[in-house]
Amino acid sequence: MESGLSEHTDPLAQIHDELLVVRCQLGEPAAFEDIVRLWSDRLLRYLERIAGRDVAEDLAQEVWVRALRSIIRLRDGTKLRAWLFGIAHNVAMDRFRARYAEEAMRAAVQDAPEPEPVTDAEARSLLLNEELGRLPLIEREALTLFHLEGLSLAELADVQAVPIGTVKSRLFRARQMLRSNMIRGDERD
Amino acid sequence: MTDRPNAPDTVLAMVRAQLSFRTKASHLALMIVAVGAIVALASILMTEPGLPRRTWWAMAAFGLLNSVWATYAGWVLSARRTMLSNHRVIAGRIAVAAAALFTLGSGALGAATGATAAYLAAAIGLVLTGFAAALLTRARRRHWMLQLRRDQLLAHTQDGGL
C-alpha cells in the first residue's frame, strides 16, 4: 500500500465545500440535501469499517443530527470534509465508550461472513478488506480515512485530534501491521 | 457496498424536520410568553407592597415557573433545534415586535390607570426591546455577510476557480 503524503489542495473542491457550508448556514434546505447526498454513503462506509455494519446506520443518523446542529458554528467551510469525519469519529468514539468493549468489536469482526473469491485480484481485495477489519481501531481508522476516504494528513490530524507526527506514526504502524497480516494471509492460502 | 436505498432518504427526512421553522416557532412563542409573564409578575411584586403574603408567594412561584419554561425554550432553540441565519433574522423580528408590543401595552396601561407596576413593566419592556433589537441587528449583519460570501463563491465557481 503506497503512502499518499500530499495535501488535499484542489482549490475548486474547497470553493465548492465552502459554498455548500455558507448556503447551509444561510438556511437553504437544498444545500443540506446536497451535503447529505454527497457525503451520506462515504460516512456510512467509514462507520461500517470502524464500528461494524450493525450499528453504522444508527451512528450515521447521529452524525447528521450533530452536523445539522453545529454547522452554524463552522467558521472555515473549506474544512467541511475533515469536520464531517471529525463528527463521525466523535460519534463512533462516544458509542464505543458507552457500549462496546474491545473484545465486542473483535467479535463483531470475526462474525463477518467469509469472502468467496472468484479471481486472484478479487481474492486479494477481499483479503485486504478482511485484514483491514482486524486492525486495532485507531490504526484501522487512520488507514480508512487516509487511503480510502482521501483525507490529507492535516485533516486526519484534525479528525483524530492529535498532532500530524502522531498521525504519521499511526499510519506507518498500521501499514506494517496490515502488511504482516496480508503476508500471513497469503501463506495460509 | 450493501443496498441501502433508504439511508439518505431517512436522513433527508430528519433534515427537513429539523430545518422547519414551525418546529421552532412554538418554542419561540413559549419563550416570549414566559418572559412577558416574568416581567409583568416582577413588576407587580416590586411595586405592590400591600399584597397579602400568600398572594405574593403564589405570584413569585408563578414567576419561577415561567423562568423554568423560558429557560427550557431557550435551551431547545439553542441546542436542540438548529437556528440558522435566516431563522435567526425571523426570530429576531418576532422578538422585537413582541417586546415592543409589550412595552406599548404596559405603557398604555400605566397611562390609563396610573399603576406603578405598569410603568415598571414598560421600562423593563423597553430594555428587552433594545436587547432584541441588538440581537436582530447582529443576526441581519451575519446574514448579509453570509450572502455576500455566497455570491463571491458562486462567482468563483462560474469562473472555474481562483
Which residue, among B82, B86, B87, would best test binding to A if mutated, counting the most A CBs under 10 Å from its CB? B82
Choose from A49-53, A56-60, A147-151 the range with maximum mean pLDDT: A56-60
Q: Is A113 on the interface with B (CB under 8 A)?
A: no
Residue A4 has a pLDDT of 39
Q: Which residues contact A170 (CB under 8 A, 6 or more apart)?
A: A138, A139, A142, A160, A162
Residues of B in contact with A26 (CB under 8 A): 84-86, 143, 146-147, 150
Indicate the residue of A37, A45, A72 with minimum beta-carbon distance to B84.
Answer: A72
Cβ distance A40 to B85 less than 8 Å, yes or no, reads no
Rg (CA), chain B: 22
pLDDT computed for residue A113 by the predictor: 52
Q: How far is CA A102 from the centre of its chain?
A: 18
In the predicted structure, residue A48 carries a pLDDT above the cut 50: yes
| A-B C-beta contacts closer than 8 Å | 87
How far B21 CA sits from the closest chain A CA (Å)? 10
Q: In the structure, what pLDDT confidence band is assigned to residue A21 with cuts at 50, 70 and 90? A: very high
pLDDT of B141 above 90: yes
What CA–CA distance (Å, rounded) separates A168 from A66?
A: 28
Q: How confident is the model at residue A44 (pLDDT cuts 50, 70, 90)?
A: very high
Indicate yes or no: CB of B14 within 8 angstroms of CB of A65.
Answer: yes
In this predicted structure, the answer to whether residue B2 has a pLDDT above a threshold of 60 is no
A57–B contact, CB cutoff 8 A:
yes
A69 touches chain B (CB under 8 A): yes
Interface of B with A (CB under 8 A): 1-2, 4, 7-8, 10-12, 14-16, 18-19, 79-80, 82-87, 143, 146-147, 149-150, 153-154, 156-157, 160-162
CB contacts of B87 in chain A (<8 Å) are: 27
Q: Report the percentage of chain B scoring pLDDT > 90.
A: 48
| Range of lowest pLDDT (A86-95, A175-184, B86-95) | A175-184
Q: Is A16's Cβ below 8 Å from some Cβ in B?
A: yes
CB contact under 8 A, A22 and B14: no
Average pLDDT, chain B: 87
Burial class of residue B84 (count of CB atoms within 10 Å of its CB; 0-12, 13-18, 19+)? buried
**pLDDT(A2) > 70:** no
* Closest residue to B87, CB basis, from A11, A27, A36: A27
Decide: B136 and B123 in contact? Cβ < 8 Å.
Answer: no
Q: Which amino acid is at A1?
A: M
Which of A127-143 are b and which e, b meaning 16 or more Cβ less than 10 Å from the residue's Cβ?
beebbbbebebebbbbb
Neighbours of A5 (CB within 10 A): 10
Q: Select, from the ranges B6-15, B79-88, B131-140, the one with the highest average predicted confidence (pLDDT).
A: B131-140
Residue A33, chain B, CB below 8 Å: the answer is yes
- The tens digit of pLDDT for each residue in A122-178 reads 667 777 777 888 888 888 899 888 888 888 899 999 999 999 999 999 999 999 888
Contacts of A57 in chain B (CB under 8 A): 4, 7
pLDDT: which is higher, B76 or A107 = B76
Q: What is the mean pLDDT of chain A?
A: 81
Q: Do B15 and A64 lie within an 8 Å CB cutoff?
A: yes
d(CA A62, CA A44): 11
Residue in B4, B18, B161 nearest the CB of A44? B4
pLDDT over 90 (residue B135): yes
